[in-house]
Structure 1
Amino acid sequence: MSKVFFVTSAGRGLGVDIARQALAAGHQVVATGRRPETVTEALGGEQDNLLVAALDLTDPDTAEAAVRAAVERFGRIDILVNNAANFYAGYFEVVSPRQMRQQIETNVFGPMNVTRAVLPALREQRAGHIMTISSLAGLVGQEFCAAYTTSKFAIEGWMEALRLDVAPFGIRTTTVEPGFFRTELLVDASTTWPELAVEDYAADTAAQIEGWKSMNGRQAGDPAKLAAALLTVAELEEPPARFVAGADAIASVEAKAKELLAQVEASRKLGMDLAHDDA
């Protein structure tokens, strides 16, 4: 059955693959981006099942306008794909407070703005599915990723709580944790390097920047295959709360789960008996 997909950042990277494959599968797609002309060009021009809408994640008014246009055109929204994100790299002390705030503004408040705009339509329908692209970095901390990891851990907590909030209205949620995929996250338009300098980090910072730049275009994951997997998840009657995507992510999350269990066990003796004596 045809569904209406609402996809953010559909002009490049994974968003293009999701929108293309949804259209090819016969779905209707609301493809959004800061530059609508770029989205239209990426998706091959105007199509009956395609609505291209301007959306700036940091501007709630544009999100609300895009949602209104989607409902006016297609009558409903079935699946929101919060895909847009960027990457502020760096060790914590060399990421400026301004950069940290900008990372949170885009990667956390951005999808929150879009979801807040979409939720009234989903609640009225008593149905819908919110898929938010997080990252392996939302479950496992990584060196040189203080800002990005902070933003993705925040997404994990928000989505886990949101799932409980919206379940009574027939709305499902899935948090997607991809490993390293050959998207455009590491291109200059999406990656920002540290703007502060601390001598103790200077050599490692230079090496990390070189390493991250060399990784661009060489990641193992295929975004077209990830997009196809996400369409499969979207078809499930009971979609998973989390979808860990990529062999690297699955291995890392398995290791993290074992580490957490070991830490719980190590805390048991000292951590269990801490209640008031009269409790």
Structure 2
Amino acid sequence: MKDKVWLITGCSTGFGRELAQLVLKQGYKAGVASRNTDDVKDIVADYPDTAIVLKLDVTKPDEVTSAVKTIKDKFGTIDVLVNNAGIGYFGAIEESEDDEVRRMFEINFWGLAAMTKAVLPIMRAQHSGHILNVASIGGLVGFPAVGFYNATKFAVDGYSESLSKETAHLGIKVTVIAPSGFRTDWAGRSANNSKIVIDDYKQSAGANKDAIRGYSGKQPGDPQKAAEAIVKAVESENPPLRLLLGKAALKGARNKLEQLKNDFDTWEETTTGADFPEGQ
């Protein structure tokens, strides 16, 4: 039996479900978390000694505290935290409804941060651990129709980079998972549309929203292979800070690097000219 204890949020569907199934099959211990525990009971049915179902809405502080305590009481520690719980939302920025956007931030960012803060004391005490935050290629590259979703994932990326620099000397590793299109429920039932539609955005945000919705269930990404990649990163001695998943993610990230380089090089003189002269 492998000795690491995993805590995985958002296990009812998608990456979380595939990952929970895989780590248990491979002999790890795991806390399998979901807002509705009935959705994940089948995952743990064959693993009474190595799995535990956790009722967890990451936006509820009492459930966060309870989930962490429950798994620690059962298995003695937490070695790997996978912050996978999240939702999507489609709408141009001007179309987006404040209550929907704030709800998404509460789940995608603040819930992730709450889980991380709850687990960090355990990892600090043992001077080891690995925190994996599921973001998106949309945490590196912005797209029309998902501007506020992008904002939540850009926040996760920046938060994770800072966290990695704070915890490296404590033996705690951090990895941001940045997938492109995978056959999960993200573009289906896990993402709401704005009820506001402004015709002026039809050719930008509207077109991309329709394309993403129409692609749901046909994405090239295989969630099972994504789970295997995440386990590989955890088992690596030197896991990446950012793990891209999918060819489209790699292409998008490389295009972004080229765009950044072009802007930096083109505006280098203006950029460096904003400092005081040397010696002053």
TM-score normalised according to structure 1 size: 0.95
In structure 2, C-alpha distance between the alignment counterparts of 1:238 and 1:207, rounded to whole Å: 40
User: What SS class does the counterpart of residue 92 from structure 1 fall into?
Assistant: coil
8 Å contact from structure 1 (residues 91, 146) kept in 2:
yes
Aligned to 1:261: 261
Change over 3 Å in CA distance of 1:45–1:196 after alignment to 2 = farther
Letter in 2 for 1:222: D
Aligned to 1:101: 102
Residue ranges of structure 1 left out of the alignment (5+ in a row): none
User: What SS class does the counterpart of residue 195 from structure 1 fall into?
Assistant: coil
Aligned to 1:276: 276
8 Å contact from structure 2 (residues 140, 154) kept in 1:
yes
In structure 1, C-alpha distance between the alignment counterparts of 2:242 and 2:203, rounded to whole Å: 37
In structure 2, C-alpha distance between the alignment counterparts of 1:243 and 1:203, rounded to whole Å: 32
In structure 2, C-alpha distance between the alignment counterparts of 1:36 and 1:211, rounded to whole Å: 33
Alignment of 1:191-210 (within 5 A): 191-201=191-201, 207-210=207-210
8 Å contact from structure 1 (residues 60, 117) kept in 2:
no
Residue ranges of structure 2 left out of the alignment (5+ in a row): none
Task: Report Cα offsets for 1:212-267 as digits up to 9, x if no partner.
Answer: 32211100000000100110100012211111111111111111111111111011
User: What SS class does the counterpart of residue 176 from structure 1 fall into?
Assistant: strand
8 Å contact from structure 2 (residues 44, 53) kept in 1:
no
Letter in 1 for 2:13: R
Alignment of 1:234-249 (within 5 A): 234-249=234-249
What number of residue pairs does the alignment pair up? Answer: 278
Q: Percent identity?
A: 31
Query: How large is the Cα RMSD of the aligned pairs?
Result: 1.6
8 Å contact from structure 1 (residues 16, 43) kept in 2:
no
Task: Report Cα offsets for 1:135-159 as digits up to 9, x if no partner.
Answer: 0000011111111111111111000
Aligned to 1:25: 26
Change over 3 Å in CA distance of 1:274–1:210 after alignment to 2 = closer
Task: Report Cα offsets for 1:16-55 as digits up to 9, x if no partner.
Answer: 1100110011000101010111111345466221111011
Letter in 2 for 1:241: L
Change over 3 Å in CA distance of 1:96–1:6 after alignment to 2 = same
Most deviating of 208-217 and 158-167: 208-217
Aligned to 2:147: 146
Change over 3 Å in CA distance of 1:207–1:270 after alignment to 2 = closer
Task: Report Cα offsets for 1:85-115 as digits up to 9, x if no partner.
Answer: 1001110010012222112111110111111
Letter in 2 for 1:12: T
- Structure 1 residue 197: Cα displacement: 3.1
User: What SS class does the counterpart of residue 248 from structure 2 fall into?
Assistant: helix
Aligned to 2:222: 222
Letter in 1 for 2:219: Q
User: What SS class does the counterpart of residue 196 from structure 1 fall into?
Assistant: coil
User: What SS class does the counterpart of residue 94 from structure 1 fall into?
Assistant: coil
Change over 3 Å in CA distance of 1:5–1:22 after alignment to 2 = same
Aligned to 2:120: 119
Task: Report Cα offsets for 1:48-77 as digits up to 9, x if no partner.
Answer: 211110111111221111000011000111
Q: Is 1:212–2:215 an aligned residue pair?
A: no
8 Å contact from structure 1 (residues 177, 244) kept in 2:
yes
